[in-house]
Structure 1
Amino acid sequence: MPHNLLVDAPEQGVQVLTLNRPDVLNALNTDLLNNLSKALDDAEADPEVRAIVITGNQKAFAAGADINEMAARDLVGILEDPRVAHWERIARFTKPIIAAVNGFALGGGCELAMHADILIAGENARFGQPEINLGIMPGAGGTQRLTRKVGEALAMHMALTGEQINATRALQAGLVSEISQPELTVERAIEIGQTIARKAPIAVRLTKESVRKADDMSLSDGLRFERHAFTLLAGTADRQEGLDAFREKRSPRFNGQ
């Protein structure tokens, strides 16, 4: 098991991945992103994993990229940054990701949190894109995902000033779905993951994909994709199981078929 990423065995369909570089506030370096990418590959192939929770510690989810590693790169190193492939892998993950954020989620940490499908924030959470303070700009979705999450006005303010927002402002802006007491944030994220894990896996995957398409497609194209996905689900055994369970007043037993 990698020392900088704690990988729990799945329980009730949920696997917890904990960023573990506390001495540098869980700064994201290439090695950590590589291990996170590998863990997601393994989870993608494991039928026992139906949802992922990504978290850090009480002080920091992740306080950004590893500045020492960044400073060591020349222009060629930046252009050939191996982390790009890892960010793309995280974005392609098909199972639901819930981020449980306590403390700082800054720069790459904020960008990682925004890769999640559901984001739960502790009351002590702080979100920001402070790259402008280093003479650079967000490079892993901080201008694109943030704008789609919170709107252009707030995204522009955060990216150009480097100022942080707290959990309450993040909730109001639509960046997070829920605020929790810090000591209960991971527990709440796992609870949500377990709720999702009890649903039909194919329906979960297509629902996630369909919602994500709303960022990329026109309304008419998105509606066509949604209808196509809905039609595909009509032919699954899980759909029939869901209908049978409803009529028989029992809990459904979905098996991903």
Structure 2
Amino acid sequence: MSHAIDIVQGEEWVLARLNRPEVRNAIDEKMVSELHELCAHLEREPQILIITGCVAQTSRGPRGIFASGADISELRERRREDALRGINSGLFQRIAALPAPVIAAIDGFALGGGLELALAADFRVATPQARFGQPEANLGIIAGAGALWRLKNTVGMPLAKEILLAGRVLDGNEALAAQLVSELHPPVELQAGAEALARRIAQLDPLAVRLSKQLLEVPESAHPVADNIAQAVLFESDAKFDRMQAFLDGRGKS
């Protein structure tokens, strides 16, 4: 049986490749289910996650694609109770809350739910050919899986309004200028660029990164008490003593 995502397990990160090229990686319930299974694994055994797309055959030849949005054939049939289940929003929130950082590597379309999936990641790297937009209002619905708040927090309210209310689509260079993505790479180097970022993250102490990620999401009123508690945990960790001693030993040799 075919899978909606292909998973490559590495030593320091897991790569999940969306694999429905025949429908431009439209996000259906099967893909949602498989991503939930991956999240359950990463919640038990934290690792950096890289989410990327695949290559689709188009009338203009092979083209990279991240995700063109929710599967419209399913979306058309959904009713009130389906909306209240939060099918995509629940998944994207789970991805955003994973213990280790998440990287979205984007080529081609990241539209609708595809952009909302990318927004759930901690980092986004892309190609100049990437396209980012939220066309939901054209279909008579809202961007209900995170874009209405994650997008404005990422690019600011004025640009978020252009995307959400006026249908603006950004290319890779515009997304870089708006800080929607942090790096651009040619398509053939996109995965390598994402893996290089994952390697930089992996060089840091995993527990310090994990706690920092969690603390970035707590309300301002919880600081500095939450910071002090997290620091107290880290001050007792073996990694803190080992890493600081290595720093001191290295400084003594310079």
Flag whether TM exceeds 0.5 (same fold).
yes
What is the distance in 2 between the residues matched to 1:45 and 1:86?
Answer: 16
Amino acid of the structure 1 residue aligned with 2:26: A
- Bigger mean CA deviation after superposition, 166-175 or 98-107: 166-175
Partner of 1:238: 239
Q: CA RMSD in A?
A: 1.9
Instruction: Choose the corresponding residue for 1:198, options 198, 203, 215.
Output: 203
SS across alignment from 1:143: helix
Paired residue for 1:18? 17
| Per-residue deviation, 1:164 | 0.5
- Post-superposition shift, 1:77? 3.2
Task: Indicate the residue corresponding to 1:51 in structure 2.
Answer: 48
**2:111 is the alignment partner of 1:120:** no
- Number of residue-to-residue matches in the alignment: 243
TM-score of the aligned structures, taking structure 2 as reference length: 0.89
Aligned AA (2:71): D
Query: Does the CA contact (< 8 Å) of 2:25 and 2:66 recur in 1?
Result: yes
2:176 alignment partner, one of 171, 185, 199: 171
Tell me the distance in 1 between the aligned counterparts of 2:240 and 2:107: 37
Query: C-alpha offsets along residues 27-51 of structure 1, whole Å, 9 cap, x if unaligned?
Result: 11111011011112112323xx531
1:120–1:179 CA contact under 8 A, matched in 2? yes
Per-residue displacement from partner, 1:147-172 (whole Å, max 9, x unpaired)?
00000000011000122011111111
* Structure 2 residue identity aligned to 1:56: G
Paired residue for 1:67?
72
Q: CA deviation at 1:190?
A: 1.0
The equivalent residue for 1:255 is none
How far apart, CA to CA, are the structure 1 residues paired with 2:84 and 2:139?
Answer: 18
Q: Give matches, 1:206-225, under 5 Å.
A: 206-213=211-218, 217-218=219-220, 221-225=222-226
Quote the Cα distance in structure 2 between the aligned partners of 1:34 and 1:54: 15
- In 1, the alpha carbon distance for the partners of 2:215 and 2:20 equals 34
Kindly indicate whether the alpha-carbon contact (under 8 Å) linking 1:34 and 1:83 is maintained by their aligned counterparts in 2: no
Q: Where does residue 97 of structure 2 map in the other structure?
A: 92
Q: Does the residue aligned with 1:62 lie in a helix, a strand or coil?
A: coil
- 1:184 alignment partner, one of 182, 189, 192: 189
What is the rounded CA distance, in whole Å, between the counterparts of 2:86 and 2:237 in structure 1? 42
2:238 maps to amino acid: A
Provide the residue aligned with 2:227 in structure 1: 226
1:29 is aligned to 28
Alpha-carbon separation, structure 1, partners of 2:75 and 2:121: 24
- Name 1:254's counterpart in structure 2: none
In 2: Cα distance, 1:2 partner to 1:196 partner: 32
CA distances 1:103-133 after superposition (whole Å, capped 9, x unpaired): 1101100000011111111111111111011
| 5+ long unaligned stretches in structure 2 | 56-63
Rounded to whole Å, the distance in 1 between the matches of 2:216 and 2:85 is 32
The answer to whether 1:7 aligns with 2:7 is yes
* Equivalent position amino acid for 1:202 in 2: L
2:154 matches 1:149? yes
Counterpart-to-counterpart distance in 2, 1:82 and 1:155: 23
Task: Kindly state the Cα deviation for residue 84 of structure 1 after the two structures are TM-superposed.
Answer: 4.2
| Percentage of identical aligned residues | 37
Query: Shift of residue 223 of structure 1?
Result: 4.0
Q: 2:39: which partner in 1?
A: 40
CA separation of 1:36 and 1:229: change in aligned 2, threshold 3 A:
same
